[in-house]
Chain A
Amino acid sequence: AQKITQTQPGMFVQEKEAVTLDCTYDTSDPSYGLFWYKQPSSGEMIFLIYQGSYDQQNATEGRYSLNFQKARKSANLVISASQLGDSAMYFCAMREVSLSGGGADGLTFGKGTHLIIQP
């Protein structure tokens, strides 16, 4: 079963509008982290925002915020006031933290959402 599901393969949004990118996850571990990365056409993965499973408040980083609904296992990314430079692939990812002391597992990524901002 998929651990990270991104249901929007592509999205077109007008410049200056707010954007919500959907992400649902599946885990039975109580300790995990949720991430959003941006990947422009150059290929580099750019870290945007992080939410820990025990964090009480939703994470925010500038124009990015993460709408964390733990009971629904949802971690949607919200981009306010979109810009042309926001056009890219966006990936939601999760890392389950091993309690055996072996460090955190690798990131599990969703399939991504291709966001295109139109002028």
Chain B
Amino acid sequence: KAGVTQTPRYLIKTRGQQVTLSCSPISGHRSVSWYQQTPGQGLQFLFEYFSETQRNKGNFPGRFSGRQFSNSRSEMNVSTLELGDSALYLCASSLDGRTYEQYFGPGTRLTVT
């Protein structure tokens, strides 16, 4: 069974631009969660999508948004990029978001210059 895939793996953007990251969960998994990892703040929960609906949301500004498609693939968008958005963005998939198994992808490393 294929694992969680994230594209692209690396990205360099300029302040003020916007970016879209993609996550394909494990086949059959309907819940996708996104996390941001930075040296200063550590790992922080962004949001979770289940059956195309945002079910939970962390404490991030509205510049961070996401969506989920009918095939459970999810995208995360960050608008008006700031230097502080430079981070490793990880997505995790699980069957339904209620069970404990959450499997992480390799992450997308975003650098904002």
| Total residues of chain A contacting the partner, CB 8 A | 27
Q: In the complex where A44-B104, A45-B104, A112-B42 touch, is A104 in contact with B88 (Cβ < 8 A)? A: no
Which residues of A come within 8 Å of B, CB atoms? 33, 35, 37, 42-47, 50, 52, 91, 93, 95, 97-98, 102-112
**Among candidates A42, A91, A97, A104, residue contacting B43 with C-beta atoms closer than 8 Å:** A91
Which of B20-28, B66-74, B77-85, B93-101 binds A? B93-101
For residue B104, which residues in chain A have a CB less than 8 angstroms away from its CB?
A: 37, 44-47
Q: Type the 1/0 row for B13-46, where 1 means its CB is closer than 8 Å to any CB of A.
A: 0000000000000000001010100000011111
- B106 and A44 within 8 A (CB): yes
- B106 and A103 within 8 A (CB): no
CB nearest neighbor in A for B47: A106
What is the bound-complex CA distance between A36 and B46, given in angstroms? 19
- A111 and B106 within 8 A (CB): no
Q: In the complex where A44-B105, A45-B92 touch, is A103 in contact with B50 (Cβ < 8 A)? A: yes
For residue A45, which residues in chain B have a CB less than 8 angstroms away from its CB?
A: 90, 92, 104
- A106 and B88 within 8 A (CB): no
What is the bound-complex CA distance between A91 and B103, given in angstroms? 14
| Total residues of chain B contacting the partner, CB 8 A | 29
Tell yes or no: B75 within 8 A of A by CB.
no
For residue B35, which residues in chain A have a CB less than 8 angstroms away from its CB?
A: 106-107
For residue A107, which residues in chain B have a CB less than 8 angstroms away from its CB?
A: 33, 35, 43, 45, 92, 102
8 contacts between A and B (CB under 8 A): A33-B100, A43-B88, A43-B90, A43-B106, A45-B90, A46-B104, A97-B98, A102-B56
- A43 and B55 within 8 A (CB): no
**Among candidates A37, A50, A102, A109, residue contacting B100 with C-beta atoms closer than 8 Å:** A50
Return B77 CB to nearest CB of chain A, in Å.
18
- B106 and A42 within 8 A (CB): yes
Nearest 5 CB-CB pairings of A with B: A106-B45, A45-B104, A109-B43, A103-B97, A50-B100
**Among candidates A42, A50, A93, A103, residue contacting B56 with C-beta atoms closer than 8 Å:** A103
Return A113 CB to nearest CB of chain B, in Å.
12
